[in-house]
């Protein structure tokens, strides 16, 4: 059996990628890279990784890697992905979101396509059994024609938490192409997420092929009787709710179905947590081996959620409905801030994830 040599760039979130590769059959973690030498040594010692680097170029030039995970903050995803694509690797996993702009994400995908490299995005939530189950029920007509997917998150920002939820909405619907986005953004505090601009709250409606619409919001607060991060999928012959069975465990999703064409069902979480990183690695090995035709985290799917993310920001910036494909290639949230249309009313910069949450008065 072929064994693929993997390297990981960035070991904060990247520790989980190292663990997933370490647990998977057919992968060896050959090298890791981080600018924090202490963290580098700690992770490399824990997983007995021989190659240890503080410079990504040196790692790529030395190690003859097959797989590269880019798990830096999002602002560095394009740079590190394009760097890795210069070498004869077979697959690159960029953590989510692909980038902070449409132009960068398009360039990442086009470059990997041209080089014959399989590009993935870190939307590991697609491996949760509840979402597999719900996607299958929708595809089988359990709710008739899907009309609306509604989901929200109480706090966490669009590119941080919301990107996962918008991607899972597309996954539930069978990964249709987005058509247009209409959105609104508020940023009255000087809020950041891992060093990049973050809105205070936002909302959007996105239309997709087939007629369904995705309705999303973040940081506005609880929304009715459904729980935080719950997905309500309404069709013309039924409704599905994919919701955490235990509110304190955000990934404890179960499935409820009310259908006009079959028996209703209520399938709570089975208590078994999904090993996301192992699932990601196992499916990648199967894809590289030719055992499957696609990976559910293929960036050709992720570019669709990227379009909705950037379309939301661009719609708020221009006060217009934004059609997909998006023509604006620069970062629309950053552009809106620089243009002065999103003015800070309450000064004092703070970051919601450095590395996780710092108080406002602790971050300059």
Q: pLDDT tens, position by position, for the chain (364 residues)?
A: 799 999 999 999 999 999 999 999 999 999 999 999 999 999 999 999 999 999 999 999 999 999 999 999 999 999 999 999 999 999 999 999 999 999 999 999 999 999 999 999 999 999 999 999 999 999 999 999 999 999 999 999 999 999 999 999 999 999 999 999 999 999 999 999 999 999 999 999 999 999 999 999 999 987 777 789 999 999 999 999 999 999 888 899 999 999 999 999 999 999 999 999 999 999 999 999 999 999 999 999 999 999 999 999 999 999 999 999 999 999 999 999 999 999 999 999 999 986 544 333 333 2
Q: Are 95 and 353 in contact (CB under 8 A)?
A: no
**In the chain, where are the structural domains located?**
4-125+276-298, 130-271+305-348
Topology classification of domain 130-271+305-348: Dihydrodipicolinate Reductase; domain 2 (3.30.360)
Beta bridge partners of 196: 193
Backbone conformation region of residue 195, classed left if phi is above 0, alpha if psi is from -120 to 50, else beta = left
Beta bridge partners of 206: 181, 214
Q: Are 214 and 162 in contact (CB under 8 A)?
A: no
Mean pLDDT over the full length of the chain: 95
Q: What pLDDT is recorded for position 183?
A: 98
Q: What is the pTM of this model?
A: 0.95
In whole angstroms, give the CA distance from residue 219 to residue 225.
17
Q: What pLDDT is recorded for position 247?
A: 87
Q: Are 179 and 204 in contact (CB under 8 A)?
A: no
In whole angstroms, give the CA distance from residue 147 to residue 325.
22
Structure tokens at 153: 């998150």
First to last CA, the chain: 51
Q: What pLDDT is recorded for position 57?
A: 98
In whole angstroms, give the CA distance from residue 306 to residue 106.
9
Structure tokens at 225: 């009787």
Tokens 């132009």 belong to 103
Q: Which CATH architecture has domain 4-125+276-298?
A: 3-Layer(aba) Sandwich (3.40)
């Amino acid at each position: 059996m072929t064994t693929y040599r993997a390297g990981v760039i960035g070991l904060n979130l990247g520790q989980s990628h190292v663990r997933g590769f370490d647990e998977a059959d057919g992968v060896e973690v050959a090298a890791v890279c981080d600018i924090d030498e202490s963290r580098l040594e700690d992770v490399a010692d824990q997983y007995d990784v021989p190659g240890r680097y503080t410079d990504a170029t040196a790692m790529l030039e030395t190690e003859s890697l097959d797989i590269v995970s880019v798990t830096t903050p999002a602002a560095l995803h394009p740079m590190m992905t394009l760097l890795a694509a210069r070498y004869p690797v077979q697959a690159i996993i960029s953590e989510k979101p692909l980038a902070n702009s449409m132009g960068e994400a398009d360039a990442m995908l086009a470059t990997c396509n041209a080089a014959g490299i399989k590009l993935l995005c870190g939307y590991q939530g697609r491996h949760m059994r509840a979402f597999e189950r719900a996607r299958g029920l929708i595809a089988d007509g359990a709710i008739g024609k899907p009309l609306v997917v509604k989901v929200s998150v109480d706090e966490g920002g669009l590119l941080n938490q919301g990107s996962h939820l918008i991607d899972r909405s597309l996954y539930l619907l069978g990964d249709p192409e987005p058509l247009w986005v209409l959105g609104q953004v508020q940023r009255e505090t000087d809020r950041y997420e891992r060093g990049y601009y973050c809105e205070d709250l936002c909302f959007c409606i996105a239309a997709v092929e087939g007629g369904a619409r995705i309705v999303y919001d973040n940081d506005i607060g609880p929304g009715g009787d459904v729980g935080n991060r719950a997905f309500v999928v309404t069709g013309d012959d039924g409704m599905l709710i994919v919701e955490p069975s235990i509110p304190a465990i955000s990934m404890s999703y179960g499935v409820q179905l009310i259908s006009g064409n079959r028996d209703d069902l209520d399938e709570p979480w089975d208590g078994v947590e999904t090993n996301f990183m192992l699932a990601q690695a196992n499916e990648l090995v199967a894809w590289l081996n030719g055992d499957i035709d696609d990976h559910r985290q293929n960036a050709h799917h992720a570019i669709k959620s990227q379009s909705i993310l950037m379309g939301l920001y661009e719609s708020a910036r221009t006060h217009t409905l934004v059609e997909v494909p998006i023509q604006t290639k620069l970062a629309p949230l950053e552009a809106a801030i620089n243009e002065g249309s999103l003015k800070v009313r309450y000064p004092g910069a703070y970051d919601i994830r450095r590395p996780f949450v710092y108080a406002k008065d602790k971050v300059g």
